[in-house]
Amino acid sequence: MALHIADAEVSRLATALAKLERTTKTEAVRRALRRTLAERQGEAKPKGLREFAEGLVAAGREQGIGPVTKEEMDALWGMDVVDGD
């Protein structure tokens, strides 16, 4: 079933959200609608681990936080020393 968006601002917002979430406009709108419905219905908790992880990734992108590199993870664990010493 098709959803036609005739409003220029809504289309622009959907495009911006899709870019932030690195997904399609359809998926960005789906996620936004699900989040809004969950909030309004008092069900702000994620339904499962996948949705929770997707929420964390989206929140990180909104804050300009990218994925953690191997070097950053190693430094957090104190593994910046080469093995064999």
Mean pLDDT (the chain, rounded): 83
The answer to the question of residue 72 being in a domain is yes
Instruction: Tell me how many degrees the CA angle 44-24-65 measures, rounded to the nearest 5.
Output: 60
Domain range for 53 is 8-76
The answer to the question of residue 85 being in a domain is no
Q: What is the pLDDT of residue 16?
A: 93
Tokens 């994925």 locate to: 67
Instruction: Tell me how many degrees the CA angle 17-28-39 measures, rounded to the nearest 5.
Output: 95
The answer to the question of residue 20 being in a domain is yes
- The predicted-structure confidence for 42-77, as pLDDT tens digits, reads as follows 765 656 888 888 888 888 888 888 888 888 888 888
Measured between alpha carbons, how far is 43 from 76 in angstroms, rounded to an integer? 34
The answer to the question of residue 3 being in a domain is no
Q: How many domains does the chain have?
A: 1
The answer to the question of residue 46 being in a domain is yes
Q: Nearest Cα to 29, choosing from 9, 15, 44, 50?
A: 15
The answer to the question of residue 15 being in a domain is yes
